Chain A
Amino acid sequence: MGTIKKLDDYTPQERKVLDPLYDVIDPELFVNIVDLGLIYNIEVDSEQNILITMTFTTPFCPMGESIIDGVENVLHIEFPDREVHIDLTFDPPWSPERLTNEGKKMLEMS
């Protein structure tokens, strides 16, 4: 089972990577992937390479490829000189508890 980092636990350096990911929207739910809780972890290594560990709401999500492309695109615009690694995991699988309060509001849960 992979590590899941809470939003408050990101370092300022990781936070800079997280911020552009708010622009990647799930086209079915109209909620960004951070508030949807799809981002499990962000790591920036000593060579400034970026490792994103993330998931989808369901395996083989029909919109999965476009979400991955969105993550790559926003990070390449923000950090053109850095390498981006994306590790997709379903361990643990996504669950509604992963939604942030903002995400819940967007889905009219609150």
Chain B
Amino acid sequence: MINYNTGKVPSSAIILPFYATGTGAFLVLCLLLVWSPQSLLMHYFNPHLLGIVHTAALGWGTMIIFGASYQLLPVISEHNLRSNDLAILSYYLLMAGVVLLVWALWSFRTGWIMVTGGSMIVLASLLYLINVVLTGRPSPQSNIQKYFIISSAVWLVFTTVVGLLLAINLGHPFFSRDHMTILKLHAHLGLAGWFLQLITGVSSKLVPMFLLSHAKKTKWLNGAFILQNAGLILFLADVYFIGYSSRVLIWLVVAGIGVLCWLVDLANHYRKRIKKKIDLQMKQTFASMLALIMGIGTIPFVHLLSASGQGSTFTMIYGTFVFMGWITGIILGQTFKTLPFIVWNDHYKKLTGKVKVPLPRDLYRAGWLRYQLGLFIVALLLLITGIATRQLLIIRIATWCWLGLALMYAFNVGQILFHKTKTTE
């Protein structure tokens, strides 16, 4: 007899399609970069770059984050995932929506394909929000991580709805405001609302868990929650109702202090950790934080140099640091802190203690993580250098490095996904 409730981990059949599809999207993203490196030297509103950015943000980043969230929501909310069916449905909608949207953006077909793709992504984000809220609500424990997850899901819905309106506006103009201004709001909703707050919330739960930190105070996280949201809301309201001006730098500082509060919280966990040895997955994660700081550091240049041609270059550098440095970096690291455990649980949960079983790290080529981290740093620095110096050759070399990195990552993910049970008596 067992008197316990450990909580039911969602079935891997729900989680793994997100990881498999996200990995495929990362490969496609790098192929698109190899195919169209010159798009990184044009104005950011060009069809190929729009396709590349949405492959990165939705096919790669959001796809993996949905999968990881469905796995981690029970840990954060201390309650079973409310609906497996909604999770599965959100996968099909997101996957199909991304395919349609990216194809329509890449070939710039403004019409029903783009709108249908956008609508499916809106529906996927709504289903995700419903699952997040219903999973978090019954928990007696109120924690700041849960608020981050819920607020990020609300911002995601806001982002996708504005994105859908932008797609409609391209074919049938109806905005009273300038399309490019709304595009800026859409981009920052996604980055500072969805990605930043989701990653802040999840990392503030996972990093202490992985490092076995005994830091307990949440005042820095509370500050991060208030400031990140305040900075974003003030930015959106100011730009939409009054217009784009130098005041955006004030809202950047507010949200930036919010980011700083989160990093201070992570640093506290790092200092008070019990597990002294930092594995490569966590090193990759910390490297991605540096990319975020560098990205935020370029925003004032984007604004101050917007009148000159340099503004567009800094916009590209900012986007590269954020998508390829921060979001990609954190996924490359955290995939190998989550996926092997999900698959290991499937194969060995019932066997542990009975027979000798491999460890989760034995499910893939753990030694490759060193090369993955090295290639990630080289590829990112080359891409930034190529964009900053406007040298197409350097950008071309960088995109091939990214493709090599994607192949290495995909091979290792494949090793985990197609693992066969191995035991010795």
Contact = CB atoms under 8 A, between A and B. Distances in A.
B94 to A, nearest CB: 23
A57 B3 contact: no
B212 A66 contact: no
Nearest to A95: B214
A64 B7 contact: yes
A58 B342 CA distance: 17
A107 B352 CA distance: 21
Interface in B53-74: 71-72, 74
A72 B351 CA distance: 10
Interface in A21-38: 23-25, 27-30
Interface string B4-19: 1111110000000000
B352 A70 contact: yes
Contacts of A96: 212, 214, 274
Nearest to B338: A62
Given A88-B5, A95-B214, A62 B75 contact: yes
A61 to B, nearest CB: 7
A30 B342 CA distance: 16
A27 B341 contact: yes
A74 interface: yes
Interface stretch (B40-48, B189-197, B353-361, B396-404): B353-361
B180 interface: no
B345 interface: yes
Given A24-B352, A27-B359, A70-B352, A57 B1 contact: no
A41 interface: no
Contact of A65 (B3, B9, B342): B9
B132 to A, nearest CB: 15
A29 B352 contact: no
A86 to B, nearest CB: 5
Contacts of A66: 344-345, 348-349, 352
Question: For this complex, into which size category does the number of interface residues on chain B fall?
Answer: 35 or more
Nearest to A107: B275
The interface residues of chain B, by DSSP majority, are classed as loop
Interface in B316-358: 341-342, 344-345, 348-354
Interface residues of A, number: 38
Given A65-B9, A65-B349, A74-B353, A29 B212 contact: yes
A63 interface: yes
B276 interface: yes
A38 to B, nearest CB: 12
Contacts of A24: 352-353
Nearest to A85: B1
B108 interface: no
A23 B353 contact: yes
A43 to B, nearest CB: 13
Contact of A85 (B2, B8, B277, B351): B2
A74 B355 CA distance: 9
A1 interface: no
Interface in B70-108: 71-72, 74-75, 78-79
A28 B352 CA distance: 14
A108 interface: yes
Contact of A77 (B74, B277, B354): B354
Contact of A68 (B2, B9, B274, B359): B2
Interface string A91-110: 00001100100001001110
A98 to B, nearest CB: 11
Nearest to B340: A27
A19 interface: no
A63 B337 CA distance: 12
Interface of B: 1-9, 71-72, 74-75, 78-79, 209-210, 212, 214, 274-277, 341-342, 344-345, 348-354, 359-360
27 contacts: A28-B360, A29-B212, A60-B6, A60-B7, A62-B72, A63-B341, A63-B345, A65-B8, A65-B345, A66-B344, A66-B345, A66-B349, A69-B350, A69-B353, A70-B353, A73-B351, A73-B352, A86-B3, A88-B2, A88-B4, A88-B5, A88-B6, A96-B212, A96-B214, A107-B275, A108-B275, A108-B277
Given A24-B353, A30-B359, A72-B353, 5 more contacts: A56-B6, A60-B7, A62-B75, A68-B2, A108-B277
